[in-house]
Amino acid sequence: MNRLKVLSTLPLCALALASCQQAEEAPAAPAEASLAQVTLPVSINAAMVGIIDQSADFIWAVGNGDMPRNDHDWDQVRGAVYDMILGGQVIQMEGTGEFDAQWVANTDWQTHSEDLTRIGQDALPLVEAKSEDVEAWRAIGDRLVQNCLACHELFKPEVPSQGILHESTERESRGISIFD
């Protein structure tokens, strides 16, 4: 056995042993209970700006025909697709925002969040195939914009502004590629 193998098997054995002992001491809590206790260290608003809004721009760019030119560009689009998949789940967890608890408890909120995840999942085969089918990307982008608007209409009636304009959004509005 070479050294690398020894190193990588050791912690596994230790882990297996630890979980065995734990199982004897106390029965594991039901999975549901521990998931419900997960909270975000930031507000849902921050997650919205930092993950969802930031990344949605890349998906809309491709739908507008601003095609990735190399693997680095495709990496960015793939990251954006995963951000939609994961973002839809993240915003179902309560964070530090004032209204977060009431939002996550609302069934309409949960539906729109799940839709966001589903849109991302539907875009995954496209990005994995590095598809240049602009129409297919535009269809994803259209569903995405409907999703943002539908949820904002219910939960955030006023136009979200705060004067924040992501650099990528500004580039698109000036007809400059989102990709560097």
Q: Is 50 in the site for ligand HEC (CB under 6 A)?
A: no
CB 116 within 8 A of CB 147: yes
Q: Looking at beta carbons only, is 57 or 73 nearer to ligand HEC? A: 57
Cα gap 25→31, rounded to integer Å: 18
Give residues 94-133 in contact with ligand HEC (rule: CB under 6 A): 97, 109, 112-113, 116
**Site map (CB under 6 A) of ligand HEC, residues 76-95, x = contact:** ---------------x----
Cα gap 92→142, rounded to integer Å: 23
Cα gap 146→112, rounded to integer Å: 10
CB 123 within 8 A of CB 59: yes
Q: Which of 39, 47, 52 is nearest to 81 (CA)?
A: 52
Taking CB under 6 A as the criterion, the residue among 114, 128, 160, 165 binding ligand HEC is 160
Q: Looking at beta carbons only, is 68 or 151 nearer to ligand HEC? A: 151
Q: Is 58 in the site for ligand HEC (CB under 6 A)?
A: no
Amino acid residing at 142: D
By the criterion CB under 6 A, which residues form the site for ligand HEC?
43, 45, 48-49, 52-53, 56, 91, 97, 109, 112-113, 116, 144, 147-148, 151-152, 155-156, 160-162
